[in-house]
Every structure is written in structure tokens, then in C-alpha cells.
Amino acid sequence: MKKITVKTSKPYNVLIEQGILSNCGKYISEVVNTKYVALITDDIVDGLYSEKVIKSLSEYGFTVKKYVFENGEKSKCSQNLNNIYDFLAKNNITRTDCIIALGGGVTGDISGFAAATFLRGIPYIQIPTTLLAQIDSSVGGKTAINLPCGKNLVGAFKQPELVLCDPLTLKTLPDKIVSDGMAEAIKYGMIRSRELFDIIASHDLSNYFEQADDIIYRCISIKSNIVENDEFDKGERMLLNFGHTLGHAVESYYNYSGYTHGSAVAIGMNLITQQAVKKGLCNELTSDILVKVLKAYDLPLTADAKTEELTALCSNDKKCESQSINIIICSDIGISYINKISFEEFLAFMNA
Amino acid sequence: MKKITVKTSKPYNVLIEQGILSNCGKYISEVVNTKYVALITDDIVDGLYSEKVIKSLSEYGFTVKKYVFENGEKSKCSQNLNNIYDFLAKNNITRTDCIIALGGGVTGDISGFAAATFLRGIPYIQIPTTLLAQIDSSVGGKTAINLPCGKNLVGAFKQPELVLCDPLTLKTLPDKIVSDGMAEAIKYGMIRSRELFDIIASHDLSNYFEQADDIIYRCISIKSNIVENDEFDKGERMLLNFGHTLGHAVESYYNYSGYTHGSAVAIGMNLITQQAVKKGLCNELTSDILVKVLKAYDLPLTADAKTEELTALCSNDKKCESQSINIIICSDIGISYINKISFEEFLAFMNA
């Protein structure tokens, strides 16, 4: 088993082990003070893993109340959130009980936000079952729902009590969903670790699983380190947004149905790096290697949308403070920095 | 001017001065880093004070976007919250901008919760215009909305940047709303300060305003002190719930339309103190004086609902942890303690 302790205001462990789902009750019983838990999951994951998880929880004496919602980004909304609140209230979940989020990013984000706000905060545990959720959304305490006018516009910082990652769950994912997560893994390599980048680059979508445990471990270690330094997203944490400002614009342009989050981030990473090369902030070789790796994981490099249309959408990004914008530049693989520029400078940069 | 610094995780000042509304721009400009603010208020308060507040804000260079909702507890709901989110998003409010809550408890609670969660948290300022909001809900960082199945079931701890109390606003309140707030003032006296209690007891609803500044100052000082010791409501802060567990049951029993919060708390304080006398935990004189003061402020002593029906409703209170309940007993005026008992013991206590 691999273990990472995330030393935020409230420290917690991330445990990574193939098959840990079947033994989750043991680890959960070590961190909570209740025998009463609310399991939140979507209909796809429910069919795959709920039985296994509930069996282990029952073995360790837990009473489990289960809430299942329809899979997909459209469920990360206030209506589903209100249904979760009603479910928690009707099952008399109290402040000392616990929510368990079993699933991908949508499940983790909305369950985490429910945990952050129901009764002004109750404990929660993340059991992420997609690569994206395992290496990104389940760690760091960012929880959220979408508004009709934008993604993740409502949320809270709320650290979980525990994160359990079972790499075996990746085996049931469609390739497209693995690619989606791999874009974020490539991002971690680009911003902070050539070693991780090289492991990813020496594999592709067909054989990455050989290194899945190590990739997950390295990604979470990087995220954990960055989040520890900047839990509330005031500085260094912005590095995690490499490719994301343009990525969000791509997602928004296609109404969140044209590209997955990871695909959009892949496009964002490629576009910003191409411009960085033009401006002499990054060498061409780095850009070429990035392109090669994105292709190896079946990730897109560009979208049909014009650059001007995408940059215009960036002003709505919640990371965009009033008149300025923080862009993340990788000067080399593993080396990144935050560049705070005016919105006009950003437009000029993108149209170089 | 009276000033109290609340030393929570993020310290902030409460300023109390008659007429401070006309000068709010000055004090707000000293604590925020933006010239862009969202003013949230209800339709009654809007008619009374928005113009004055916006005038002062404009004098200090602020651009004000105003959101007005229908007054009343029914607006403390997820629908109104979603409307506020949309308003904030459409007006491009960013993380460095600021929400100003102008009004009573409903306005402060829902605006504070919007501030706690929009973009995962933006700054907010409280300008409470009722006695209840000035001495209770605007200080301490508890924000919330109601669910169809219960009050304040969703919320967050979020301290404001500043609280501005203008006692002159009390002059526009109907007597019933003053009584509502005075119940909480009496509570502060009961749990922590005979001096405050005596000031209140030596006045009544017709002449309390002579001492309004001092009463507000003393109440907030007590709350501030308790909140500093227990920001996240794990211990001492429960003292503030004197009369509230039964009070919430009264509100719930009458479907939140029979009694105001303060009236229900008055009933709760009286009922629990009567039982404490029966059990020898409080002397009869204390109970008699409490009754006298509640009457002087036109507050009710009992409801028609049977004690058994009210106690049954107490198990749904969010302060009630699984099988136990924390009741607050005042053994004398100004002296209180928390008594954690089983729900069965609570039933026996109430039926003594």
C-alpha cells in the first residue's frame, strides 16, 4: 500500500492499493466516530462497486444509507444537491456521522459540498473511482456544484477525513475516461516533475496500467505538496491551473458537451505552450514532446473554436481577478510559474 | 462610537454608532480591496435604507450592484439563494469583490452563506438593521438557509470583514420585532451577565431605546467572547442555545408562522427554567424574575402545544447528537452551564 499524508489545516491520509475497496470498512472505521454513514454515488458506479463497499462497511459494523443519482455532469447541480440535503435530513444524519463519496469527480465534488454545508459541515470520505478523481478532484478539499451560468461557481474548501484510491477501478473505465484523467497526470508532470512525465511518456493508453499505482502516487504527492503550501488557492495552487483557463473556455464554448474536462485541458496546455514558444518563454522541443504525449493518450491538441473566441470567454473564469488574469507557463518539462498579466496583455499573448 | 474586535480565525470589528449608516462607505473602504460591491437586501429595508447606504458607498468611490428580495423567512431558501448566485455571476462579482448584507437575520444569513460559497468564498460585510440581527446573527459567522424539512439545516461558518450596527434603525421597527430581538438580549443576560440583565430589567419595551447602544454593545461583547473560545460550535458556544432547543421545537410545531424566533426562545427559556426549578437546579426567584422581564418586553411564556409534543420535536434539532442532547441550564441570573444528557433523561427532565 502507498500512503500520502496531506498536511492541510486538518491533515488526512490518501491510501492507494489495488483492491482496497473490499477492505474500505477497516480504514474508514479508523477515522470516524460513528457507525452511521451516508453513501453517495451515481447509477453507473452503484452497479459496479456499491455492493462491495457496503459489504466491507457492514463487516465493520456500519449502518449504510445509500443515495444514488443519475451519472453525468448535469447532476452536479443545485437540484441534485437539494435532493442530497433532503436525503441526509430524512435519514437523521447528524454532525458526528459521515458522508462517503463513491465515484468520479461529479460525485466527489457534490458530495463534498453537501458535507461542507449540511448542518454547517459534517465529515466526509472520498473513494474516487476514475483516474481524474483519484489524482485530482478527491485530494485538496475543493468541492463545488455548477450554476446554469458556469461550472464550479459555487463551492467550499472542505478537506476529507480520508481518501481511498483503488487503481483496479480504472480497469472498468472506457478509454475516453482514462484519457480524460491522463491529461491531468500529464499536467502534473509538466508543472512539477520530469520523472513523472517520463513515466507517462514511456507508456500509452494501452499499457499505462502497468504504472498506474506509481502514476497516481506521484500525481497526488505533487498535488498534496502544492495544496499544503496554499490550501485556499491564493498563490502557488494556481500552478495546478496549467492549461485550465483556456481549457475552461473550450468546455464553455462547446456548452460542456463537446469535450471532456481532460480533453479541454489538453487543448489548453497545448495552446498556451505554443504561444509560450512564440514568445521565447519555452523551447520548441518541450512543446513537441508535450504534443507527442498528448497524442499517445488520444487527447486533442486544438479545437475548431477561434483563439479570439476562447480568450474572450476567459474573462468569465473565476480565477480571473477583476482586470488581471493569472496564466501558467511551463518553461521546460517539470518547471512552471505563474504570470499575472492584464487582460489586454493576455489577449496580445494569445494572438502573438 | 463603540467598537468590539471579534478575535476569531479571521479577526474583524463590530462598530456601533447611531447614524453610522450614513457613513458606511468610509468604514467599508478601510477593510476591502475592491471598489465593486453587491448590496443584498429585502424590499422593506430597501425602501428604508438602501438610498442612504448607496449614497455613502458612492461617496467613497464604490460601484454598487443591488439585489432585492421579498422580505420574510420564506426567502431564506435555496430558490432565493440560486437567484443571488445568478445575480453575482451576471454582475461579474469576483473573489476580490464584496457582498454587503443590509437587513435583518434572513438577509444576513442568506447573504453570508452566498458569500461563503460563491466562488468558494468572497468577502462580506454585515449591516444588521434589526435588534436580533445586531446582537446575534450578524456576529459569529454562522450563515445558513432553511430546507423544506427544517430551519438552518444548510450553512457554513464564515466570518464577515466588518459589522456596522446603527441603533437608529431600531426606531423604524414594529414593537413585535423589537421584542423578538430583546428575547436574545435577555438570554445573554441570563447566561453570562447579571449587569446586562439588570439594565434590561430596569426598562421595558417603551423606553429600552435609552440604553440601546449599551445593550447592543454588551450583548455583542458576550457573544464575541464565547465565539472566540469556540468558533466552530463544539463546546462553549452551546451556551448561546439557552432556550433554543425547545424554542426551535415551538417554531417547528407552529410551522414557523405562529411565533417569531425570539418569542419561541422566550417560551423555551421559561420552560427549561421552570423545569430546572422543579429539579432543584435553579432557585424560584430567578425563574420569577425571568418571567417578569419576559412580560415587560411583551414576550410569551408558554405555547398551547403540549410539552410531550415539543420534546418529541427536539430530537430533530441539529444540535442533538445521535442519542444525546445538550441542554443549557441557568442556575442563577448570569450563570449557565451545558448539560449533556441522553434523550430519555431529557424526556424525564421535561416531564418532571
pLDDT at position A64 is: 98
Give the chain A residue whose CA is nearest to the CA of B151.
A119
With cut-offs at 50, 70 and 90, classify the pLDDT of residue B322: low
Residue B76 has pLDDT above 70, yes or no: yes
- Pairwise CA distance, residues B182 & B215, whole Å: 9
- Taking the CA of residue A232 and the nearest CA in chain B, the distance in Å comes to 9
The residue count for chain B: 352
Q: How far apart are CA A27 and CA A29, in angstroms?
A: 5
User: Looking at the partner chain, which of B36, B86, B154 has a beta carbon nearest the beta carbon of A117?
Assistant: B154
ipTM of predicted assembly, 2 dp = 0.92
Between B317 and A292, name the one with better pLDDT. Answer: A292
Cβ-nearest to B149 among A90, A94, A233: A90
Sequence-distant (6+) residues with CB within 8 A of A289 are A201, A333
Of B96, B148, B156, the CB nearest to A321: B96
pLDDT of B317: 59
Per-residue model confidence as pLDDT tens digits over A185-215: 999 999 999 999 999 999 999 999 999 999 9
Across the interface, whether the CB atoms of B94 and A233 are under 8 A apart is answered no
Residue of A nearest to B88 (CA): A153
Inter-chain Cβ pairs, chain A and chain B, closer than 8 A: 93
Least confident of A272-281, B83-92, B311-320: B311-320
Taking every pair of C-alpha atoms in chain B, what is the biggest distance, in angstroms? 62
pLDDT tens sequence across A126-149: 999 999 999 999 999 999 999 988
Chain B: closest CA distance from residue A127 (Å): 22
| B233 neighbourhood in chain A, CB within 8 Å | 120
Closest-CA distance of chain A to residue B138, Å: 16
Digit-coded pLDDT (tens) for B42-65: 999 999 999 999 999 999 999 999
**Mean pLDDT across A215-226:** 97
pLDDT tier at A70, thresholds 50, 70, 90? very high
Of B96, B113, B157, the CB nearest to A322: B96
Provide the pLDDT for residue B256.
82
Cβ burial, residue B30 (10 Å; 0-12/13-18/19+): exposed
Interface of A with B (CB under 8 A): 34, 36, 78, 82, 85-86, 89-90, 92, 94-97, 113, 116-121, 142, 144, 147-150, 153-157, 232-233, 316, 318, 320-322
Q: What is the mean pLDDT of chain B?
A: 95
Q: How confident is the model at residue A50 (pLDDT cuts 50, 70, 90)?
A: very high
Sheet holding B98-103: strands in order across? B2-6, B12-16, B162-165, B124-128, B98-103, B36-42, B63-69
**Cα nearest neighbour of A92 on chain B:** B316
Q: Which three cell numbers stand for residue A163?
A: 481518501
**In A, which residues are within 8 Å of B92 by CB distance?**
316
* Mean pLDDT (whole number) for A74-78: 96
Q: What proportion of chain B, given as a percentage, has pLDDT over 90?
A: 88
**Rounded to the nearest 5 degrees, what angle is found at the Cα of A188, between the Cα atoms of A186 and A191?**
110
Least CA distance to B36: which residue of chain A?
A: A322
What's the confidence (pLDDT) of residue B197? Answer: 98
Q: Mean of the per-residue pLDDT values for chain A? A: 95
- Of the candidates B34, B156, B321, the beta carbon closest to that of A120 is on B156
